[in-house]
Structure 1
Amino acid sequence: MSIERASALLASARSALFITGAGVSAASGIPTYRGIGGLYSDKATDEGLAIEEALSGEMFQRRPEVTWKYVHQIERACRGARLNAAHAAIARIERRLERCWVLTQNVDGFHRGAGSTNVIDIHGDLHRILCTRCPYEAHVDDYAELAPCPRCPACAAVLRPDVVLFGEMLPLEKVEILRRELARGFDVVVSIGTSSLFPYITRPVLEAAHSGVPTIEINPALTAISTAVSVRLPMRAVEALEGILSRIEPGG
């Protein structure tokens, strides 16, 4: 079985890179992007904009209240969600390895909450709030305490969530960490619950596969990397990762 092969690869590895997307947090009740709250599938916002326009860096510069309106909606739709067994399994597997990194597109902070220590949250963290002018920052568990378009208590400038909005560059320091770790190499690269649309998400898998490094994909749907990986598990994240963990840590 493929799950046996995946388990054997992770059991024998000393280092691993896990690349995660929305599918890892789906079991937490966090919907995939355009389905959030049932608001954005194939329809415009109240302002007649595509949601990508409303949540763009350009819109935030011009009309931050519009961007904040939909950031609040997204946070409200996800409020109360908790990390799940997939996050916990990745953290458990990490503790068996000499070196492990998690590259995630998710902004929910669940990997760190589960105990993963080396996390590259390439799109940011929805619960970290930054000032657009001064060094002020804060961790906010619940946006209910924020104003519709919040202002900095230190300098009165507009605050923003620490997330990459559409049209914005990825944070350079996180890109550099990823480059550094990829240059060191991994014994196995695992892609979980991501549609693999972005080059910085697909490239680590494809380059590993090209170099003969074992690669694993966990995803019910076919993606751009499905034909390139060593092992493909057409399963949901929780089911696959709990199955792998039970084989690596029988009775654990």
Structure 2
Amino acid sequence: MKQPDFTEIADLIDQSHRILFITGAGLSADSGLPTYRGIGGLYDDADTEEGMPIEVALSGDMLRQRPEITWKYLLQVERACRGAGFNLAHRLIAELERLKPQTWVLTQNIDGFHRAAGSQQLIEIHGKVGELSCPKCHYEMIANDYSQIDGMPICPRCHGVMRPNVVLFGEMLPEPAVEVLHREMMRGFDLVFSVGTTSVFPYISQPVFEARKWNAKVIEINPGITEVSPFVHYKLPMRAVEAMEAIWEAMGQPVPQQQAALS
């Protein structure tokens, strides 16, 4: 594992045709969003008021059995994130797709910032928090924020409790997103970035391990040590915006103004 050399990384980008960015909560932390677990986490080493881990409160089982608990913490998390927008790292990843059209993003984040920043080849493997649906009658609605939700959102059609179109703990991944991921993994990548994720889920760490088969280089951007850190070629122990800006400058590209990168 090599120490940061942004010129080398810029050269790797230049030489690569297909690039994959795997992103997690650490990327959106530079937008002011909490990461829940890990550095600066909203629930670091602490249980909820009900004495359960946040993963239990935000689980599919809890939503079915006691939806008021799940929605209590969904509202709390959304309130902590409200008003934030995409940051310069999201913007630069989208700009890289413009320069390298076979650039893809696999994100665990449900904030929608990648899409807002301009990324189009995007696999939102955990869904989108801004979409609500009714499990009973399948009524759907867009919720730009949760400010109008008092307690739990009730379906106007069948009066059931609605849910966000996100993957809660213990739930299956959305099949369309999984199919796209499998298709692109079969094609392989020349370069893989792991940005702001602890990579604890197998489907998030798998591309890093598959990189050896593809003869691809792997670059990790994360201040901490993660599940994949021992297996990457370059480790950048930095925050996402700082690292992406340095890489962009090494590529000889003009860096967009920071204020223009907020939605």
Structure-1-length-normalised TM-score? 0.94
C-alpha distance in 2, partners of 1:225/1:210?
A: 16
The 8 Å contact of residues 19 and 103 in structure 1, kept in 2 or not, is answered as yes
Tell me the percent identity: 54
Partner secondary structure for residue 33 of structure 2 = coil
Contact 1:108–1:126, Cα closer than 8 Å, also in 2: yes
Bigger mean CA offset, 148-157 vs 55-64: 148-157
In 1, the alpha carbon distance for the partners of 2:249 and 2:142 equals 35
Aligned to 2:9: 6
Q: CA deviation at 1:34?
A: 3.5
- Are 1:29 and 2:32 an aligned pair? yes
Shift of the 35–230 alpha-carbon distance from structure 1 to 2, 3 Å rule, reads closer
Contact 1:17 1:101 (8 Å CA) reproduced:
yes
Residue 86 of structure 2 corresponds to: 83
Aligned residue in 2 for 1:45: 48
Query: Could you tell me whether the CA contact under 8 Å between 1:129 and 1:137 is conserved in 2?
Result: yes
Q: What SS does structure 2 have at the residue aligned with 1:147?
A: coil
Q: Distance in 1 between matches of 2:231 and 2:53?
A: 33
Deviation at 1:37, TM superposition (A): 9.5
Aligned residue for 1:33, secondary structure, equals coil
**What does residue 130 of structure 1 align with?**
133
Residue 169 of structure 2 is aligned with which of 162, 166, 169? 166
- Residues 1:114 and 1:187: Cα distance change in structure 2 (over 3 Å): same
Aligned to 2:241: 238
Structure 2: how far apart are the matches of 1:45 and 1:26?
A: 21
Deviation at 1:35, TM superposition (A): 7.3
Residue type of the alignment partner of 1:215:
V
Whether contact under 8 Å (1:23, 1:193) holds in the other structure is yes
Partners of 2:137 and 2:131 in 1: CA distance: 15
1:207 aligned residue (207, 210, 223) = 210
CA shift for structure 1 position 39: 5.6
Structure 1 regions of 5+ residues with no counterpart? none
Instruction: Find the counterpart in structure 1 of residue 228 from structure 2.
Output: 225
Task: Give unmatched runs, 5+ long, in structure 2.
Answer: 256-263
Moved more, 156-165 or 41-50: 41-50
Letter in 2 for 1:111: H
Q: 1:251 to 1:164 in 2, by over 3 A?
A: closer
- CA distance in structure 2 between the aligned counterparts of 1:110 and 1:226, rounded to whole angstroms: 25
**Could you tell me how far 1:251 is from its partner in structure 2?**
3.6
Which residue number corresponds to residue 121 of structure 1? 124
Deviation larger for 33-42 or 97-106: 33-42
**Aligned partner (choices 132, 152, 177) of residue 149 of structure 1:** 152
Superposition map of 1:63-74 within 5 A: 63-74=66-77
Q: Structure 1's 40 and 221: CA in aligned 2 closer, same or farther, altered over 3 A?
A: closer
Tell me the secondary structure at the aligned position of residue 45 of structure 1.
Answer: coil
Asked whether the 8 Å contact 2:6–2:250 carries over to 1, the reply is: no
User: How far 1:40 sits from its partner (Å)?
Assistant: 2.6
Helix, strand or coil for the counterpart of 1:239? helix
Contact 2:189–2:214 (CA<8 Å) still a contact in 1?
A: no
CA distance in 2, matches of 1:104, 1:173: 14
**Letter in structure 2 aligned against 1:71:** L
Shift of 1:210: 4.2
TM-score (norm 2): 0.90
In 1: Cα distance, 2:29 partner to 2:116 partner: 16
Do the aligned partners of 1:103 and 1:122 also contact (CA within 8 Å) in 2? yes
